[in-house]
């Protein structure tokens, strides 16, 4: 399997460990390979790119990291045997991120512990993932989102819906996204909650 994808720092301050165990400061427009571990020193924006010629959907998306977020780029554009083409896999170790897709059908999976938040479907999509309160909170701002539990149970979320997962008990609570949460995501990515930055 080969991963043709990479991230590009569009804005912000990020430390990246690309596998040598020594985190280095990433400058704007620097590339970051799949497999890297990132720590957001400030609010930051990453764009995704691919050297694979048929990966046009991937380049229409960004991930917005809130200051303090720790994120691993597990797979960006994997190709080959046993690869899930058309799918980017991220691991959120702590903090908050917002995935934004302008168009296309590319799927973004964000893992926290053994739980997955998924931005899926077609067309524009935006999903906020927050681990800062001891659980997992998923805000589906635009499009279709999914949640998969560690037992393989799946919940579908539409725009405007939120779920909160208590990690210790496994209890899942569903609700509407409150206005203050929409404002928080909009502060991280201006306009993303309404359809585009």
Averaged pLDDT for residues 78-94: 85
What is the percent of the chain with per-residue pLDDT over 70, rounded to a whole number? 95
> C-alpha angle with apex 58: 5 to 140, nearest 5 degrees?
120
Helices (H), the chain: 179-188
Higher pLDDT, 84 or 187: 187
Q: Which of 115, 123, 167 is nearest to 142 (CA)?
A: 123
> C-alpha angle with apex 126: 93 to 129, nearest 5 degrees?
25
Q: What is the DSSP letter of 185?
A: H
Rounded Cα gap, residues 72 and 188, in angstroms: 19
Averaged pLDDT for residues 36-60: 86
- Domain range for 26 is 2-194
Q: Which of 135, 118, 119, 126 is nearest to 102 (CA)?
A: 126
* Per-range mean pLDDT, top range of 50-59, 72-81, 84-93, 152-161: 152-161
What is the percent of the chain with per-residue pLDDT over 90, rounded to a whole number? 70
Cβ–Cβ under 8 Å, residues 141 and 177? yes
Q: Is 60 helix (H, G, I), strand (E, B) or coil?
A: helix
Per-residue pLDDT, 104: 87
pLDDT in tens, 102-140: 988 889 999 999 999 999 989 999 999 999 888 999 999
Q: Which residues contact 21 (CB under 8 A, 6 or more apart)?
A: none
Whichever domain contains 147, its CATH number is: 2.60.120.1440
Residue 57: band (very low, low, confident or very high) from pLDDT cuts 50, 70, 90:
low
Q: How many domains does the chain have?
A: 1
Residue 54: band (very low, low, confident or very high) from pLDDT cuts 50, 70, 90:
low
Per-residue pLDDT, 52: 82
Per-residue pLDDT, 55: 56
CB neighbour class for 153 (10 Å; exposed up to 12, middle 13-18, buried from 19): exposed
Q: What is the DSSP letter of 40?
A: E
**Residue 188 pLDDT > 90, yes or no?**
yes
């Amino acid at each position: 399997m080969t991963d043709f994808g990479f991230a590009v720092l569009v804005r912000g301050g990020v430390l990246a460990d690309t596998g040598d165990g020594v985190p280095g400061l990433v400058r704007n427009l620097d590339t970051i390979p799949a497999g890297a571990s990132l720590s957001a020193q400030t609010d930051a924006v990453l764009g995704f790119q691919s050297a694979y010629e048929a990966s046009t959907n991937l380049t229409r998306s960004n991930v917005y990291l809130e200051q303090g977020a720790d994120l691993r780029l597990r797979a960006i554009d994997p190709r080959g045997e046993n690869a899930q083409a058309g799918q980017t896999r991220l691991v959120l170790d702590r903090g908050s991120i917002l995935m934004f897709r302008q168009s296309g059908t590319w799927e973004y999976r964000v893992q926290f512990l053994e739980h997955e938040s998924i931005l899926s479907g077609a067309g524009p999509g935006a999903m906020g993932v927050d681990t800062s309160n001891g659980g997992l909170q998923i805000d589906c701002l635009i499009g279709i989102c999914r949640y998969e539990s560690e037992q393989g149970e799946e919940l579908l979320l539409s725009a405007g819906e939120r779920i909160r997962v208590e990690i210790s008990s496994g209890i899942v609570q569903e609700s509407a996204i409150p206005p203050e949460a929409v404002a928080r995501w909009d502060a991280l990515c201006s306009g993303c909650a309404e359809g585009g930055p």
